[in-house]
């Protein structure tokens, strides 16, 4: 799939904490129907086999909606199912190593999306130099998902956006109530978890966030 930075506008990150009797597949479909434009499958506690089966199902769904589908951390799994890419944190494999693993000097490797978490201008520049496709920067607000991550000052977020040529996605504690505070930072999109997947009406939550994200990223 050809990557376009506009696809990062509403970036959904899965979390099975709020399934409430639904399957993750059902919830992802509702999110895609609501306007999620990029999807990261994030699983910390599934067995490899269960993760593989789930990834194949949700990948198929994302292809139906023509939405990029990437895997969190697990480069081997991304390779096995030919996902659109992978997202890695600062403590995971460096972007350059990920690029090699995905196919050194091959078109398949060059085409893969590699997202890297960056919390400073220095980390952002290093990730860009190593071949990252986009950056995920945060937490821009207090995050309930990653309690060990400090809050990123919005001025630093601005500096990161200005320092790199690749797109930047804001992540961490973003909701319908605070998203407009990110206006003017230079971000290309917002990554959300509970603001979509913890809501009673996932489709409606995604629709509202999509409109708000368009306003922020104008």
pLDDT (tens digit per residue) in 27-61: 999 999 999 999 999 998 999 999 999 999 999 99
Q: What is the pLDDT of residues 169-217, one digit of tens each?
A: 999 999 999 999 999 999 999 999 999 999 999 999 999 999 999 999 9
The reported pTM is 0.94
The rounded percent of the chain whose pLDDT value lies above 70 is 93
**pLDDT of amino acid 147:** 60
The predicted-structure confidence for 88-120, as pLDDT tens digits, reads as follows 998 888 898 998 888 754 445 668 999 999 999
Q: Which residue has the higher pLDDT, 44 or 159?
A: 159
The pLDDT of residue 68 is above 60: yes
What pLDDT, on a 0 to 100 scale, did the predictor assign at position 148? 61
pLDDT, position 149: 65
Give the residue numbers marked as catalytic. 42, 117, 146
65-69, 103-107, 146-150: least confidently modelled range: 103-107
pLDDT at 105: 42
Compute the distance between CA of residue 135 and CA of residue 87 in angstroms, rounded to an integer: 9
């Amino acid at each position: 799939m050809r990557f376009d930075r506009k696809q990062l506008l509403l970036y959904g990150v899965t979390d099975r904490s709020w399934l409430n009797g639904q399957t993750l597949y059902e919830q992802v479909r509702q999110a895609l129907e609501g306007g999620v434009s990029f999807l990261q499958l994030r699983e910390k506690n599934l067995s490899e086999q269960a993760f593989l089966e789930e990834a194949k199902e949700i990948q198929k769904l994302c292809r139906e909606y023509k939405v990029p589908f990437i895997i969190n951390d697990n480069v081997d799994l991304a390779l096995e199912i030919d996902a659109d890419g992978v997202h890695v944190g600062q403590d995971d494999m460096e972007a350059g190593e990920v690029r090699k693993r995905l196919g050194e000097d091959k078109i398949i490797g060059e085409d893969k999306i590699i997202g890297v978490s960056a919390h400073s201008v220095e980390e952002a520049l290093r990730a860009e130099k190593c071949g990252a496709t986009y950056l995920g920067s945060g937490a821009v607000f207090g995050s309930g998902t990653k309690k060990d991550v400090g809050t990123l000052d919005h001025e630093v977020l601005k500096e990161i956006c200005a320092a790199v040529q690749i797109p930047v996605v804001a992540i961490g504690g973003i909701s319908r109530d605070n998203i407009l505070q990110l206006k003017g930072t230079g971000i290309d999109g917002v990554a959300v978890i509970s603001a979509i997947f913890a809501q009673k009406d996932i489709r409606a939550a995604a629709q509202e966030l999509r409109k708000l994200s368009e306003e922020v990223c104008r």
